[in-house]
Amino acid sequence: MAGPGVFIAFEGGEGAGKSTQVARLETWLAGRGVRVRTTREPGATGLGGTLRSIVLDPATTGLSARAEALLYAADRAQHVHEVVRPALVDGQVVVTDRYVDSSLAYQGAGRAFDLAEIRALSRWATEGLLPDLTVLLDLPPELGLARARGRATADRLEAESVQFHERVRGTFQALAAAEPDRYLVLDATGAPDALAAAVADRVAALPGVLS
């Protein structure tokens, strides 16, 4: 932890419902008088918005996998510097839609890079900052992609093959299994209300959130 605040990340594949659950948690925390800052990756800063338009725009062609990984790391470095760390130092609860695990899953497993290399790049970009809790919303890729593609034109990552997204899901699951105390894994096919209640129960138990 960077200061007296608490850092929570939501992770998962396409269409898993992260944005919905981030908003639900924000409402729940604010209703209990908790100062909360919600954010996302990529695109939470001015620089991040520019980088997001590059890495997710279907019109972006010829971007190498290594360049993609570096752009996500640049977004994350600015995100931590400008948004996450200052809010934590200020004692807020920071809730982010995606963080380091997404790079490990998408740029690591998805693009078939050595996870150790992507982990080292992310560690350098964030100065080693990790969430106090990561909520993984787990969903079969076929269902998640159908949800995502049903609401908008597919972005660069949503347009990848089911096999790509299977590798992404497997890496998310492996990361959570390796550190069960720092993760809450939920079946994202469940009802949003039930998912939100499970998240709230786990967050309420984190030191420094409600006390």
150 a known binding residue? no
Do the beta carbons of residue 22 and residue 37 sit within 8 Å? no
Instruction: Give Cβ neighbours of residue 88 (< 8 Å, ≥ 6 apart).
Output: 1, 2, 3, 4, 5, 6, 7, 94
13 a known binding residue? yes
Do the beta carbons of residue 68 and residue 60 sit within 8 Å? no
19 a known binding residue? yes
12 a known binding residue? yes
Q: For residue 100, which amino acid is it? A: V
Cα 39 vs. chain centroid, distance in angstroms?
Answer: 10
Beta bridge partners of 11: 136
3-class DSSP state for residue 173? helix
117 a known binding residue? no
Dist CA 140 CA 107 (whole Å): 19
152 a known binding residue? no
**Residues annotated in a binding site:** 12-19
**Residues annotated in a binding site for ATP:** 12-19
